[in-house]
Amino acid sequence: MRARLFFSRDLYLTAISWLILLCAFASPVFAQTSEYTMKAIYLERFSRFIDWPKVADIEDTSRPFILTVIGENPFGESLAAVFKDQKILKKQVIISYVDSVEHIDSCHMLFIASSEKNNIDHIIDRVKDLGVLTVGDTEGFAEKGVLINLYLAEGKVRFEVNEAAVKESEFNISYHLMRMAKIVNSKEEVKK
Amino acid sequence: MRLLRRLSIKNKLIAILMLTTSSIALIGLAAMAYINIKSFKQDLVNSCEINAILAADYSITPIAFEDRTGAEEIILTLQKVPYIVNVYIYDENGNIFATYMTNPNFGSTDLLDEYDRKPMSRFVDNHLHVVQPIYYQDVYYGTVYLLASTDLLSARIREHLILTGALVCCLLGIAYLLAMRLQAVISRPILDLATVTNEVSRSDDYTVRVINNGTDEIAALYSSFNNMLEQIQIRKEERDKAEEATKRLARILESTTDLVLMGNPRRGVAFANVAARKALGWSDSVDLDSMTLADIHPECQLRRITEESIRIAMDVGIWEGESEIKSADGRTIPVSQVIIGHKSETGKVENISTIMRDISERIEAEKELKLIAERLKTSQEAGQIGTFIVDVPRETWTGTEYMYRLFGIQDSGELTFDSWVATIHPDYREEMKTYMLHDVLGSGIPYDKEYKIIRPNDGAERWIHGLGQVEFDENGRPLKLVGAARDITANKQAEEDARNARNYIRSIINSMPSILIGLDNDGLVTHWNHQAEQLTGVSSSRAEGRAIQIVFPQFFDEMPSVERALHDLEIVKDEKKTFEFNGETRITDVTIYPLISEGMDGAVIRIDDVTDRERIEEMIIQSEKMMSVGGLAAGMAHEINNPLAGILQNVRVIQNRFSDTLAKNAEIATQCGTSISAIIEYINARGIAVMMESVIDSGIRAARIVENMLSFSRKSTAEVSTHNIVELLDKTVELASNDYNLKKQYDFRKLNLIREYADDDIRLACEAGKIQQVLLNILKNGAQAMADKEYADGVEPQMVLRVYIDGSDVVIQIEDNGPGMDEATRKRVFEPFFTTKSVGVGTGLGLSVSYFIITDNHGGQMSVDAVPGEGTTFTIRLPREQSDVQKVMA
């Protein structure tokens, strides 16, 4: 029990530092202004409720967590700001921005910008089975096979999960997260 | 308690039962109520805690993703739980995230003050506070705070207590009813017992009994009560009997002939029975109180009675002995007396009583008996006889004093059967026990046995002769054994000495190498010693008591000598008598001694075997004779040798000088005026040349004889080596077979040769050539002799060759069935120049040379046995150990 407390102290510290950050300048942002800061924070939150497939080798904390953004970066400087100190799953976060699917080396999480609307099938097909969590914030992306798709509802950031795509992949998403998410089913489209 | 004591048994029992039941019911139900209330509370706590845990779990993601609506929806579901009043969800910073309140005034979230992110639950006033932290994968997200009302719980407890109270009342009612009915089980028998007790004391009848049909404590009380009644009844009867007995005793005392007196030695007599008064001459009207011991016992006894007898009786309780009393007519009467001291309750002896009996007659009889016993003892001492009586059923025995002395037993009196057995010598013990128990006591055979004992007092071994007779009861069981025992050690010793002497003499006779035969006057055998048994093959038991001619038929010829010895009482000696024993002819000297000691008529025959002695004597004679003859011949030969050499030398020179091959012969012949050829012609014409050849031949023959004769005394240089004598003999036989052509008179090959060799390989150190010469000589001689004999039909000439080992010697025997020789020839056969052959056939030296080879050169022996007309046997003995030969050679 004691060991467990020690283990989790690390998490408390990060959480507290993160809260201080929020309190400092994010509280007005929280509501309206910085939608993308919120989304960046959500990217980390998702990781808490998701088990990566074995291929991703997520357990090894000595190696960084690679977050790739494909297409036109909608985050601006938010990503860099949020993950300057924030780790994902105890791993240092490295953010890479690419414009083409061919440039993706290997990553744990792939944010697909809406600019890639036309290439979405190709991208998904490309990263399938590589242990990459695909995230988007464009309407219809979930139906296309993106695992988690962010959207706004009543001024708040919400998300939808393509359950079928998750089942097909080797990702395991906690029921806690699933309960919060809007479930999208796009079997036929995925098949296509 | 005091209150209880005053109640009747019935009410006591009821009260006790009621008290017990009610206290148990109260304590039990109170405990139950306490446990139940505690468990109700715990149920409430558990239920709230579970709800809090569920709410916390559901709140994780709403907090993580800022979904207040979602969180509120979750806690709204808790509405369905009636006792949950307010629910609060706090985020990780402690700010309220979502709430659900049915009664905002209900309680407060006080516990947050001491909250440290661990689950808590506590009753405060009428509220139950449950605090549950929200964790997901060790990350703290916030807190669920739950407030529950205890109203429902209180209602439930109240209901429970009312039910318990009703139950207690019900139980007490049932207990009272049961106690009322069951108390009778105990109280009734007690009342019954009281009734019977009253009955007994009223009627004084102890035969009444209470009827008992239970097994409990009251039943035990009943039987004790019954026992008590029985005891009282028995004592009553005993008391009646004792009174009766006292009366009877008084009558006996008055009618007995024994004298009975009671009283106090200091105060006088208190009671004297009729017999006592009569014996002491006291009238009925005499004043007993004034009578003292002096009126009872004579003066001489008084002191002993007062100082010894009465004192013992007072100390120990009883004294027994003999004393005297004064009779009415002034005589003293001997009495046996018993004085008894009676102890009072204080333990002090105050009264004594005495019983006396007139024993005048017994004393007389004892005196008589003593006299008889004295006489018996004296006679036993004189006759050295002990007598005894065995009490068979009791297994004990008694004996006279001499008997005990005989057996070395210290204490006299009654002894056990085993003590007698113990004295018996271990060698005889079992036999005697069997004899005594089985033969004497079992079968009634008169006891008559000699046996040995070891006297326990001095350890001496003695021989005892026991005699006796068993007496039986009417059923045939042995009652007692009466008998006598006598010490017969001296007789036994004498017997044994005689036997030893006899055995000693017998063994002397038996160990004699001669045959010793004892004869009585009628010629019947009385002694037949071991040697006689051995040689005749007749055992002494068979021979003794029979006529000598029957058991020893060969002796028949000697009977006249026996008769002569018996008649003339002279020692008769016959030397060199031959007897055949075990198929062997032996030469013996027979001596017959007449017995001339008194009462022992008869004769003793002694037969000494002198065969070996005779043989040795003969050999010594032979050897000496041969030595002297050999010496003589050798000396002679030596002397003849030189002139003979001269003769031969000169004859050869003469021959030479008549030869025409030498130039000098021709020259000298010419000088002499003749020619050598003329001279040769002359000597040839006159036969001189032939004569000279003849001289040389004879000379050479003489030289050979001389050579042989010289060998008698010459110790040749030994060429001794080990040879197989069997092989040597066979080779020699072969040599002899090849020799037949030369002589023609015999044909060795026609002989039937029988070989009886003990072994095919008998090794012997010898000079092979010389031994072969000896063997060849014997074989040839034998063959020649056999050629002269005319055999009957079916009989073939044969020769038996034997080789065997006899002790340290090897024996070679050559036996033929030729003509044999007479004794005179046999004795001279080894002498030089002794020959039976016609002149010119042999030199007469062959066997002499052989003899010397064997005896001188090899240290052996050579002998010949012959039976005329039947055959000859040559025997050669050679020592196997060559050291003997070496010695001779050296």
Alpha-carbon gap: B156 to the closest alpha carbon of chain A (Å)? 38
Work out the average pLDDT over B54-72: 89
Q: Does B138 touch chain A (CB under 8 A)?
A: yes
With residue B690 as reference, give the H or E element that holds it. Answer: helix B688-713
* Owner of token pair 């039909």: B793
Work out the average pLDDT over B598-605: 78
B332-343 and B349-358: which strand pairing? antiparallel
Q: Is the pLDDT of residue B882 over 80?
A: no
Q: How many CB pairs under 8 A join A and B?
A: 39
Alpha-carbon gap: A176 to the closest alpha carbon of chain B (Å)? 6
In a 3-state reduction of DSSP, which class is residue B183? Answer: coil
Query: Between these two residues, B598 and A91, which has the higher pLDDT value?
Result: A91
CB-based contact A49 B61, cutoff 8 Å = yes
Q: Is the pLDDT of residue A110 over 90?
A: yes
Alpha-carbon gap: A103 to the closest alpha carbon of chain B (Å)? 32
Q: Is the pLDDT of residue B246 over 80?
A: yes
* Integer Cα distance of B391 and B18 in angstroms: 83
Q: Which residues in chain B have Cβ-Cβ distances shorter than 8 Å to A3? A: none
Q: Is the pLDDT of residue B307 over 60?
A: yes
Query: Between these two residues, B412 and B285, which has the higher pLDDT value?
Result: B285
* Integer Cα distance of B746 and B734 in angstroms: 15
Q: Measure CB to CB from residue B65 to each of A4, A12, A45 and give the nearest one.
A: A45
> Cα dist. B801→B561, B757, B804, B810, B811 in Å?
44, 8, 10, 13, 11
Least confident among B3-7, B243-247, B846-850: B3-7
Q: Is the pLDDT of residue A27 over 90?
A: no
CB-based contact A156 B66, cutoff 8 Å = yes
pLDDT of residue B27: 92
Q: Which residues in chain B have Cβ-Cβ distances shorter than 8 Å to A180? A: 61-62, 64-65, 67, 70
CB-based contact B92 A15, cutoff 8 Å = yes
Alpha-carbon gap: A5 to the closest alpha carbon of chain B (Å)? 8
Q: Which residues in chain A have Cβ-Cβ distances shorter than 8 Å to B64? A: 45, 48-49, 176, 180
Q: Does B54 touch chain A (CB under 8 A)?
A: no
Q: Which residues in chain B have Cβ-Cβ distances shorter than 8 Å to A42? A: 65
pLDDT of residue B182: 85
> Cα dist. B501→A13, B461, B497, B505, B753 in Å?
136, 22, 6, 6, 60
Q: Is the pLDDT of residue B588 over 50?
A: yes
Q: Does B65 touch chain A (CB under 8 A)?
A: yes
What does the pLDDT look like over B629-656, one tens digit per residue? 777 777 788 888 888 889 989 999 988 8
| Helix, strand, coil in percent for chain A, rounding step 5 | 45, 20, 30
Q: Does B62 touch chain A (CB under 8 A)?
A: yes
User: B634 — phi, psi (to 5°)?
Assistant: -65, -45
Task: Give a three-class secondary structure readout of B804-837.
Answer: EEECCEEEEEEEECCCCCCHHHHHHCCCCCCCCC
pLDDT of residue B888: 45
CB-based contact B67 A176, cutoff 8 Å = no
Q: Does B67 touch chain A (CB under 8 A)?
A: yes
Work out the average pLDDT over B425-451: 88
Q: Does B70 touch chain A (CB under 8 A)?
A: yes
Q: Is residue B797 classed exposed, middle or buried when 0-12, 13-18 and 19+ CB atoms within 10 A define those classes?
A: buried
Which of B:95-134 have CB within 8 Å of A?
Answer: none
Q: Which of B146, B159, B151, B160 is nearest to B47 (CA)?
A: B146
CB-based contact A180 B65, cutoff 8 Å = yes
Q: Which residues in chain A have Cβ-Cβ distances shorter than 8 Å to B70? A: 180
Interface test with A, best of B60, B61, B77, B140 (most A CBs within 10 A): B61
* Integer Cα distance of A46 and A88 in angstroms: 10
* Residue B830, C-beta contacts closer than 8 angstroms, at least 6 positions apart: B622, B626, B847, B848, B850, B851, B862, B864
* Integer Cα distance of B815 and B821 in angstroms: 13
Contact residues of A toward B, CB < 8 A? 4, 7-8, 11-12, 15, 19, 30, 42, 45, 48-49, 156, 176-177, 179-180
- Please name the residue of chain A whose CA is at the shortest distance from the CA of residue B66: A156
pLDDT of residue A191: 39
Could you tell me the two tokens for B72?
């509120």
Q: Which of B507, B603, B601, B624 is nearest to B558 (CA)?
A: B603
* Integer Cα distance of B691 and B728 in angstroms: 42
With cut-offs at 50, 70 and 90, classify the pLDDT of residue B265: confident
Return mean pLDDT, chain A.
80
- Please name the residue of chain A whose CA is at the shortest distance from the CA of residue B64: A45
Q: Which of B513, B508, B557 is nearest to B532 (CA)?
A: B513
- Please name the residue of chain A whose CA is at the shortest distance from the CA of residue B140: A12
* Integer Cα distance of B822 and B585 in angstroms: 19
pLDDT of residue B1: 64
Helices (H), B286-390: 299-304, 310-316, 360-383
What does the pLDDT look like over B21-45, one tens digit per residue? 889 988 998 999 999 999 999 999 9
Work out the average pLDDT over B357-379: 87
- Contact status, residue A37 vs residue A82, Cβ threshold 8 Å: yes
What does the pLDDT look like over B719-772, one tens digit per residue? 778 888 888 888 888 877 776 544 555 677 778 888 898 888 888 888 888 888
Q: Does B137 touch chain A (CB under 8 A)?
A: yes
CB-based contact B139 A15, cutoff 8 Å = yes
Q: Which residues in chain B have Cβ-Cβ distances shorter than 8 Å to A51? A: none
Q: Measure CB to CB from residue B138 to each of A4, A19, A49 and give the nearest one.
A: A4
* Integer Cα distance of B67 and A179 in angstroms: 12
Q: Is residue B369 classed exposed, middle or buried when 0-12, 13-18 and 19+ CB atoms within 10 A define those classes?
A: exposed
Q: Is the pLDDT of residue B889 over 80?
A: no
> Cα dist. A116→A102, A130, A136, B259, B784 in Å?
13, 19, 10, 160, 158
pLDDT of residue B142: 92
User: A51 — phi, psi (to 5°)?
Assistant: -105, 125
> Cα dist. A114→A101, A132, A161, A186 in Å?
14, 18, 17, 19
Question: Rounded to 10 degrees, what is the CA torsion of B100, B101, B107, B110?
Answer: 20
* Integer Cα distance of B475 and B676 in angstroms: 149
Alpha-carbon gap: A132 to the closest alpha carbon of chain B (Å)? 22
Alpha-carbon gap: B73 to the closest alpha carbon of chain A (Å)? 12
> Cα dist. B532→B539, B601, B777 in Å?
8, 21, 44
Q: Is the pLDDT of residue A148 over 90?
A: yes
pLDDT of residue B14: 86
With cut-offs at 50, 70 and 90, classify the pLDDT of residue B598: low
Q: Is the pLDDT of residue A10 over 70?
A: no
CB-based contact B61 A176, cutoff 8 Å = yes
Per DSSP, the residues of B369-409 read HHHHHHHHHHHHHHHTEEEEEEETTTTEEEE-HHHHHHHT-
Return mean pLDDT, chain B.
84
